Structure 1
Amino acid sequence: MTIIFGTMSSKGGAGKSTIAKLIAGEYALNDDSRVLLVDSDPSQNVQAWWMQCGEKGQQPENIDFVSALQTKALDDLMLRKADYGAIIIDTAGRDSVILKNILDYVDVVLTPVQAAKREIDAMSKAIEIVDAYNESHSKAVKHFIIRTRVTAINQRSNEYRFIRQYVEEINKHGYRSRLLDAELVERNIYREIENGYGTVQMQQLTDPVKKARIEVMRLMAEIERHLAVRTLEAA
């Protein structure tokens, strides 16, 4: 069964593209199914990365890539979604046609958030959008929030603590967005792969890369655990 992820944040630079690549790279390790990575962000940052990877002979194996900036393009992709084990759609960091309609396609929305007011405001907006969609369409699109670019300094900030407090408070009022325990630390390797060096999973296992790999594996394990709960509930 194909699992479809979509990133969502109205704040550019929050870490959406990084999350999309990390998850695509992790699913690509499964030789039994292919992964489709979709760039639906008009800035086309993922496409630029993909092209650089090709120029350097570093395009990831087991991943297909396509740019889809119109709803019709995504409609066409969904017709062959059974060809893939996972589809990851990176959306715009601002309002766009696909950002507004992404919930029609996905099973899971991933929202990155950093310990800063604008990112927290964007997280709040994403929570409201997903909740309103599920309510009006009688659906249960999962919404996972991931803290990104975490440092020892911002872990001590009021903004960092507020993220969990905010999500816990809205959950008391019926919202079902989930803040994941796994988080992404600010790491050089996440920035380095932007220059066309494939995915984190393709890098030589130096100590810094090992730490990043363990971090991503923990993130994926937590996501898969919550998805397994969803599957059991549906059954």
Structure 2
Amino acid sequence: MKVLVLASQKGGAGKTTIAAHLGVAAERDGSGPVVLIDTDPQGSLSAWWNSREAETPALASATLAELPEKLAALATAGFKLAVIDTPPAITEAIRDVVKLADLVLIPTRPSPHDLRAVGSTVDIAQEVARPFAFAVTQAKPTARLTVQAVAALSAHGAVAPAIVHDRVDYAASMVDGRTVQETDPKGRSAGEIIALLSFVQERMNAKKKTIKKETV
């Protein structure tokens, strides 16, 4: 089972929105079964899931201390992907979650405050030797700041080429427990999520592909 951790010191960067959307997208493209795990005390991901009519993706509850054991049980149960939403903080508990990740995805708004805040999350990922990547979120179309943000983040690590733009349909779709892929499958926002999932899957499987190339 692959483990994707959404982490960011800065609140409001879109961790919960991205976690929910990637979980649904992975189920829809046949990469499931997927389980969502909400470790944020605010419980936003759980609240979204509880208002959802569809049965997938699944939601599992676990304290941070229980997480390693819970992930092992979920893998045994047949889940292929776990998406973990974390609180906006940098603590030892977050460090322990990051240790479990096959990929740490760091959602970042293209603003100076957000860009300055990514350093702490990057430091943790590097300290525990886990791969990480950035996803630019809530971007304004044609804004120069978005291009500048991508350039700045690229100096520290991989940046998803799929930019998640600031559109009302992301929030509107989540009101009743859905995602943009479910409310407007052919819309631009749905396309962004599909592209972001493709990037995430490629990064999570990068090591496996490298090994295969070496043995051929």
Please, which moves more after superposition, 161-170 or 210-219? 161-170
Cα distance, 1:97 vs structure 2: 5.0
User: What TM-score, normalized to structure 2?
Assistant: 0.87
CA contact (8 A) 2:4 2:84 kept: yes
Aligned match of 2:117: 122
* Structure 1 unaligned regions, length at least 5: 135-140, 171-176
Secondary structure of the residue aligned to 1:12 is coil
Aligned residues, how many? 211
Say yes or no: does 1:203 pair with 2:187: no
Which residue number corresponds to residue 137 of structure 1?
none
Q: Please list the CA deviations of residues 75-130 of structure 1 after superposition, one character each: whole Å capped at 9, or x if unmatched.
A: 22323324111110000111355412112211010101112222112212211211
Where does 1:1-235 land on structure 2 (aligned, <5 Å)? 2-31=1-30, 33-53=32-52, 58=53, 60-82=54-76, 83-96=78-91, 98-134=93-129, 141-152=130-141, 155-157=143-145, 160-170=146-156, 177-205=157-185, 210-235=187-212
- For 2:112 and 2:98, the matched residues in 1 are separated by 25
Rounded Cα–Cα distance in structure 2 between residues aligned with 1:69 and 1:193: 28
Distance (Å, rounded) in 1 between the aligned partners of 2:99 and 2:187: 36
Cα distance between partner residues in 2 of 1:178 and 1:81: 28
- Unmatched 5+ residue regions in structure 2? none
Whether the aligned pair in 2 keeps the contact of 1:37 and 1:88 (CA below 8 Å) is yes
The alpha-carbon deviation at position 73 of structure 1 amounts to 4.1
Give the secondary structure class of the aligned counterpart of 1:89: strand
Cα displacement (A) at 1:40: 0.5
Cα RMSD for the two superposed structures: 2.1
TM-score, with normalisation over the residues of structure 1?
A: 0.81
